[in-house]
């Protein structure tokens, strides 16, 4: 948590080959230059080791935000909308052919990389660029949260933990804002998207998912149990004794309602993504769909845990244990009381937990379980503690999960997704685009002054320093001068 998105890559493309502007002739070429920088940045990011990619994410955000104002300027010209009280005259000269490599589509041949998708409109180019920005914000949130789950270093202090969660929440809300803007733009599309990555339903689902993840981070600020579980598994931790966690009773019920709101958003996102794809395009990959379902179950299990804590504070230990077992049932885990001894499902769960721990230490695709294994550890820890107390002292009746689920409260949403404001070019930059372009294309030949490799071989011998014109022969070196 959040989902480990892979950033897409793209092919090279020159806008001046498909668009021309009578009012701002330099705009297509300037857009091509910034697109080439973004393409370069994405390629370099992809080739970095997994452990080095988080540090490179700010460079991806900078390259994307630098390219988007030019792209939106071209979009304003095609749509005949004024930009900064100025009109951009833009006309297409040919159908563009752009390629992007999607990361959520399930169109890969086993053992091979995902095939690129051909785009033939500026709108699809804009959609892929905005989706890349949203993915990058989610990846930045993961980078901020990674120290909280790592067990190879000492546990973070309370202040550092809160700062990391606040930073991650901001990035997730930014991602939700970008995907929400993309979904609203997609409502007016008449043609089917070339792949599900930039479909309107996918963008809406990604916005809901980022919002749900941000809500769970708001819960994580006041939830001490994930830190205790991580501390228990951290061999480098030196705090051998700690107080029992304390959460105010009023706060516990509120946290349960926040979790249920996150579960509702995740359920809507899962429903949007599992709908049948449009004719001619692939479906979303199974790993992402499984994450959505696991994340929804984890949110509901967290709500059950907080309701159990609320019951325990009221002295209803039997009801509290019932809520914990309800949470385990939501996650598809059999409680230890239901089945004792060796269990194949329990062995499989333990193996999956150890594999997830290794992912956290390697810093690769950790969190792809949606926080499921972490929540299982907390529920089983509290279940063992309260069951022992109930068996020896209180002996209260434990209600069945179906009777408790009927009394779940409604969710409460603490955030509202802010409107994404498309970046605009500065007035001075836009006015400078009225000048004719300095060169026709961004090919290597033009960047080298228009000289090809053949021209370099035919270039005349340079003049010696201080020599008069046409007197090179008088300045020959001793080794080149003939004796006769």
Q: What are the tens digits of pLDDT across the range 130-141? A: 999 999 999 999
Overall average pLDDT of the 400-424 stretch: 91
At residue 156 the predicted structure's pLDDT band, cuts being 50, 70 and 90, is: confident
Residue 441 lies in a domain: no
pTM of the model: 0.84
Overall average pLDDT of the 233-248 stretch: 56
When the pLDDT of each residue in the chain is averaged and rounded to a whole number, the result is 83
Overall average pLDDT of the 216-220 stretch: 94
CA dihedral 264, 268, 274, 277 (to 10 degrees): -170
pLDDT greater than 90 at residue 296: yes
Residue 83 lies in a domain: yes
Residue 410 lies in a domain: no
Residue 392 lies in a domain: yes
Residue 212 lies in a domain: yes
pLDDT greater than 50 at residue 242: no
Looking at residue 451, what is its pLDDT? 38
Q: In which region does residue 85 sit, left (phi positive, over 0), alpha (psi from -120 to 50) or beta (all else)? A: left
Structural domains in the chain (count): 1
- What CATH code is carried by the domain that includes residue 144? 1.25.40.280
Overall average pLDDT of the 188-211 stretch: 91
Dump pLDDT digits (tens) for 424-479. Answer: 999 999 999 998 887 554 443 333 333 333 333 334 445 555 554 555 555 555 44
Residue 418 lies in a domain: no
Overall average pLDDT of the 351-375 stretch: 72
Contact 114, 108 (CB under 8 A): yes
Centre a 10 Å sphere on the Cβ of residue 401 and count the other Cβ atoms it contains.
Answer: 18
At residue 326 the predicted structure's pLDDT band, cuts being 50, 70 and 90, is: very high
Whole-angstrom distance, CA of residue 102 vs CA of residue 285: 11
Residue 226 lies in a domain: yes
Where in the sequence is the domain holding 317, given as residue range(s)? 9-405
Residue 464 lies in a domain: no
HEC string for 328-384: HHHCCCCCCCCCCCCCHHHHHHHHHHHHHHHHHHHCCCCCCCCCHHHHHHHHHHHHH
Q: What angle do CA 349, 355, 357 make, to 5 degrees?
A: 105
């Amino acid at each position: 948590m959040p989902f480990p998105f892979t950033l897409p890559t793209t092919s090279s493309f020159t806008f001046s080959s498909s668009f021309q502007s009578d009012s701002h002739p330099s705009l297509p070429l300037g857009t091509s230059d910034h697109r080439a920088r973004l393409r370069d940045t994405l390629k370099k990011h992809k080739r970095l080791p997994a452990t080095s990619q988080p540090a490179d994410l700010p460079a991806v955000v900078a390259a994307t935000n630098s390219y988007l104002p030019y792209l939106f300027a071209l979009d304003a010209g095609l749509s005949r909308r004024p930009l900064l009280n100025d009109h951009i005259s833009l006309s297409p000269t040919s159908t563009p052919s752009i390629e992007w490599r999607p990361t959520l589509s399930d169109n890969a041949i086993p053992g091979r990389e995902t095939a690129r998708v051909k785009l033939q409109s500026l709108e699809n180019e804009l959609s892929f660029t905005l989706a890349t920005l949203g993915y990058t914000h989610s990846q930045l949130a993961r980078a901020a949260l990674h120290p909280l789950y790592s067990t190879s270093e000492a546990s973070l202090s309370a202040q550092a933990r809160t700062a990391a969660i606040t930073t991650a929440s901001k990035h997730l809300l930014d991602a939700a804002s970008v995907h929400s803007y993309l979904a609203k733009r997609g409502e007016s599309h008449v043609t089917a998207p070339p792949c599900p990555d930039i479909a309107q339903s996918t963008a809406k689902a990604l916005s809901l998912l980022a919002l749900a993840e941000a809500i769970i981070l708001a819960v994580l600020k006041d939830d001490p149990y994930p830190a205790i579980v991580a501390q228990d598994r951290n061999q480098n931790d030196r705090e051998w004794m700690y107080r029992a966690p304390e959460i105010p009773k009023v706060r516990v019920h509120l946290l349960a309602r926040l979790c249920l709101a996150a579960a509702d958003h995740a359920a809507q996102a899962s429903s949007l993504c599992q709908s049948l794809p449009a004719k001619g395009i692939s479906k979303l990959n199974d790993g992402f769909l499984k994450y959505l379902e696991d994340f929804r179950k984890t949110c509901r299990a967290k709500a059950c845990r907080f309701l159990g804590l609320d019951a325990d504070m009221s002295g209803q230990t039997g009801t509290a244990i019932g809520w914990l077992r309800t949470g385990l049932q939501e996650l598809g885990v059999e409680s230890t009381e239901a089945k004792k001894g060796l269990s194949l499902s329990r062995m499989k769960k333990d193996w999956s937990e150890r594999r997830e721990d290794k992912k956290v230490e390697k810093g690769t695709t950790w969190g792809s379980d949606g926080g499921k294994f972490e929540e299982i550890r907390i529920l089983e820890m509290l279940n063992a503690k309260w069951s022992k107390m109930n068996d020896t002292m209180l002996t209260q009746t434990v209600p069945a999960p179906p009777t408790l689920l009927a009394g779940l409260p409604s969710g409460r949403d603490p955030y509202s997704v802010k409107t994404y404001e498309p970046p605009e070019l500065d007035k001075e930059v836009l006015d400078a685009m009225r000048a004719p372009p300095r060169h026709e294309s961004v090919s290597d030949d033009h960047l080298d002054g228009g000289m090809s490799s053949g021209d370099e071989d035919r270039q005349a011998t340079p003049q010696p320093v201080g020599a008069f014109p046409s007197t090179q022969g008088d300045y020959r070196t001793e080794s080149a001068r003939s004796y006769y």
